[in-house]
Each structure stands twice: as C-alpha cells, then as structure tokens.
Amino acid sequence: MSQLFEALDFVENIQYERIISDIASQQFAIIDDFFSPEDVSVLRASITEKYEEDAFKKAAIGNKFDELIVKSIRGDVILWIDEVKANIAETLFFSKINSLVDYLNKTCFLGILHKEFHYAIYPKGTFYKRHLDTFKNDDRRKLSFVCYLNHEDWLPENGGELVLYLNKNGKEVERVIYPFPGRVVIFESQILEHEVKPVHTKRLSITGWLKTR
Ligand SMILES: O=C(O)CCC(=O)C(=O)O
Ligand SMILES: [Fe+2]
C-alpha cells in the first residue's frame, strides 16, 4: 500500500527529465532558466555581501600546493556554503538543488548522498586551466554543477567562458558556454575535462558537486 502511495507521489518534471536525458546522451546539460532573474539577484546580493566581508579565500588545488603554482592554474577565490547555516538566498538555492537531487535519486539510481557547494569569484585576469574535477584519491564526485550569478547585461566579450572538452567519435570537440546569469551547467565530473577562459570582468558563480557514498 505504501509503495502505491509512493508511486502516486511521483510527478514527472519536464526540466529534470531533459537534464537526465542530456547527461545520458552527451555527458552534460545546460539549463538557461534553472534560476529566475529574481533568484539570481538574491544570490548575487549574498555572494557580494560575503565578498565585501572578506570571507573568501584563494582557491587551492588538491592539498598542499605552492601558491605560485596554484595561481598559474586557477585564480578564483571561493567560499564554501554551509547548508546548516544557510541564509535566505542559500536556503532558496538548496531547496532547488535538493529537489533535483531527490528526483535524480528516485529516477536514476545515482545514489547521490552528499553534496558540496562554494561561491566562486574570478577577478579580472583570472582563469582556471583545463582540468578534471576528481582528485586522485577521491572518486566520489559524480556530477559537477555550476550556476552563474553575473549581472543581466553580461556580454560574451567579458570572457570567462566555460569550455567543455567533449569526445565525438574519437575526436576532441570544444563546447564553449558563456556564463550568462541564471544558467546552470551540469556535467559528469569523472569524464569531462574543462576550463574557465580568462575573465575580463569579475565573474560570479556557485560551483558544486553531487557525490556518491
Ligand atoms: O565556473 C565554471 O564555469 C567552472 C568552474 C570549475 O571548473 C571548478 O570550479 O572546478
Ligand atoms: Fe572544474
């Protein structure tokens, strides 16, 4: 009986279904309206406030790397988001994430048990060289998630494109994605190498990972 109710409880979500089929067929999905302009503006106010409080630190690669080497690979500053201490903007963010994760777990048997998200700011002139999001000793990252919080008038010439390196019939193909506000990109963490091209105007985002075990 309870199984019947569980089945009845399930409502198909067209947006999530498209995300699932895009990831299954091409290892990534781009969703332009995952967050509404209102959501983006609330989240942008939150990232800006925390940046002004000086809460961000320089992003590190792996564990103990030389500062100079780190800078030559990535130049963003990050701040991890604690769901337990979420402010109004972050609560809104996590409610959307949790709804997607519940759906993925119900329909895809992905077994997403953990998640981690951080704000990221790329100051002018910074970039993140080509890389894979999995550390050598940690294969739990299953899906990478990026959401852009840039201003509505963001232009392609502001730089900071995300480039995914795809494999099409044995040939490498670059997929260039502009960081337009409200846009979300989800991709297979263990498969797709990617990079952030040099940024010409400060670039705002939230990056995170959906993890197994
Ligand atoms: O901001 C992006 O578009 C991607 C960021 C990224 O690759 C990372 O933080 O690992
Ligand atoms: Fe990455």
Q: Extract the runs of DSSP E, i.e. beta strands, from the chain.
A: 28-31, 57-58, 77-80, 112-122, 128-131, 141-148, 162-168, 171-177, 184-188, 193-196, 203-212
Atom 9 of ligand 1, nearest CA residue: 207
State whether the beta carbon of 133 lies less than 6 angstroms from ligand 1. yes
Cα 165 to Cα 94, 108, 197, distances in angstroms: 28, 25, 13
| Among the bound ligands, the one closest to the CA of 192 | 2
State whether the beta carbon of 183 lies less than 6 angstroms from ligand 1. no
Report pLDDT for 148: 98
Separation CA 197–CA 195 (nearest Å)? 6
State whether the beta carbon of 121 lies less than 6 angstroms from ligand 1. no
Atom of ligand 1 nearest to the CA of 78: 9
Complex-level ipTM beyond the 0.95 threshold:
yes
Report pLDDT for 165: 98
Report pLDDT for 62: 60
Per-residue pLDDT for the chain (213 aa), expressed as one digit of tens each?
Answer: 556 556 667 889 999 999 999 999 999 999 999 999 999 999 999 999 999 998 887 776 665 556 666 778 999 999 999 999 999 999 999 999 999 999 999 998 889 999 999 999 999 999 999 999 987 666 899 999 999 999 999 999 999 999 999 999 999 999 999 999 999 999 999 999 999 999 999 999 999 999 998
Atom of ligand 1 nearest to the CA of 133: 10
Report pLDDT for 110: 86
Taken in order of first residue, the domains within the chain and their CATH numbers are 12-212 (2.60.120.620)
